[in-house]
Structures are given as structure tokens and as C-alpha cells.
Amino acid sequence: MTELPHEKPAFDELSDDHQEVLRRMGESVGKSVDEVKGTDDLIGYFQSFRPDGRGLAGVFSGLVGGDDVHERLECLFEVAGDDRRPTGGRDAFFVVRKPAEVAPEEVQTAGEEWIDQMRRLGDSLGHPEATEKLSAIERIRVLEGIPPKHPKLAEEKTELLVLLADTIPSWVGTAAPDHAIAAALRNPFYFVNCDAMLRDYLMWPLYRKHITVEDPFEPYFRLWRHGVKWRVFQETQIDLYMPRR
């Protein structure tokens, strides 16, 4: 998924409690508060705590939903595991190199639930055209192996691909425009894996009181944690690629 870095609100616009969260984030990686005020200052923040996430305890305390965010982060670290590559060096992002095995039927179910939840989210937030496009999906295929790459040229992308990769990832942030601390955190959460839907799953507890759909990105996380990747090359079909065993 591609997404431009999210605009971060000015530090002085945040409440005292929210400023304190950013202070704690900075202190946990040896930065002063002045060093975490910029839009890009906390990109790569979570990578500093690999492989086990120790040191994050209490960082999000005081936020409504903050403890639940921490629980999701603990799961993220557990699923991604060690950041050392088999060939040497370290992963720049959270990559699931040894996903737990999953049955094709479970992948199929998670894929169908993911799209259904995106449809519910679109309906809840007033995006009828997106809801119609998602309702038109006729088939979700479960395949195995390395997925082909999506096209880079805009004219070669299907409308469904643009919807899933670019449009839907903008919904949650705009649904709670006054949630300044959540806006401030979107960049570091996005760069966990440059995956906007993974970001929105991890951050969901900060937004849930603003949106009526219950945990809409949970099925997507189930796919991600098992190393499943999605591809769209047709307007009415989604392909889900399981890792080859």
C-alpha cells in the first residue's frame, strides 16, 4: 500500500496529556521533546524496540484506548519476531518471516470478512460508491506462492485496487479530524510496515468511539499475521497469496 506521510498537528495544539505521550515516546528512544515535534521525527520508532517490544510499556498510558493499542503492539512484536534476516542484516520494517501455518479455508473466510468489514465501514462513513464497488466483488481466490507485483502506472490500476490501496486508508483519519494525538501517531504506525491497513488495525482502539463498525481491520490482521498478501488485477476479483510451504 502506498500512502504519503500523514500531516502531523503542531505539538502546541495537543492537550497536556497528549503532549506527555509524545514526551514519553521521545524519552524511550533517547530523544528530547523538541526532537519529536516534526512530522518525520518518530518514523521508525517501533523498530527501536525489536525484537520483543520491551520498553513500550506505559508509553500510551493516559490515552483512551492506549492500553489496548499496547496489547496489539505486543502481538505485532510476537508475530514478526526477530528482525535479523537469514542472509544477514536487519529488516527495516516488521516482516513476518515465519508465519504460523493456516488452512486455505481460514484464509478464504478472513478474506471475505475483510471485504465485508470494509463494506460496512464505507457504509458507516458515508461512501456509497465505495460500498457499491466492494459489493460488486464476485470472487476471492486463495493461491499459494510469491504474488506478482501490482502495476505502478495509474492507468494500469483497477478502480478496486485504488480503492483498497489508497482510498480506504484515508477514511479512518478523516472520520475523527479532531483526534490530534491519533493524527500525530499515524506516521510511526504506518511505517511499521508501510501498510495503512495494518496501521489502522494497530491504532483502532484510538478511533473506535468515533466509528460504529466494530474492529473492521481485524480480519486483515489475521491475513497479515499468516503472511498472506493480497493482489487485485480485476475489478471483481481479489487474489490472496499464502506462503508456499
CA distance 126 to 188: 28
Closest CA to 43 of 98, 93, 110, 108: 93
pLDDT tens digits, one per residue of 13-36: 777 888 889 999 999 999 998 898
Average confidence (pLDDT) over 78-106: 92
pLDDT for 212 equals 92
pLDDT tens digits, one per residue of 200-235: 999 999 998 889 999 999 999 999 999 999 999 999
Backbone angles phi, psi at 2, to 5 degrees: -110, 135
pLDDT for 9 equals 64
pLDDT for 4 equals 47
pLDDT band at 69 (very low <50, low <70, confident <90, very high): very high
Question: What percentage of the chain has pLDDT greater than the value 70?
Answer: 95
pLDDT for 178 equals 61
Q: Residue 60 burial (CB < 10 Å; 0-12/13-18/19+)?
A: buried
pLDDT for 40 equals 87
pLDDT band at 7 (very low <50, low <70, confident <90, very high): low
pLDDT band at 3 (very low <50, low <70, confident <90, very high): low
Cβ-contact 47, 83 below 8 angstroms: yes
- 125 pLDDT higher than 60: yes
Average confidence (pLDDT) over 72-84: 94
Pick from 85-89, 135-139, 188-192, 216-220: least confident: 85-89
173: Cβ–Cβ under 8 A, 6 or more apart, which residues?
Answer: 6, 182, 183, 186
- 163 pLDDT higher than 50: yes
CA distance 98 to 81: 8
CA distances 192 to 56, 188, 238, 245, Å, are: 14, 7, 24, 26
Cell of 59: 508509553
The mean pLDDT of the chain is 92
Is the model more confident about 209 or about 160? 160
Backbone angles phi, psi at 55, to 5 degrees: 105, -15
Q: pTM for the complete prediction?
A: 0.92
Average confidence (pLDDT) over 112-138: 98
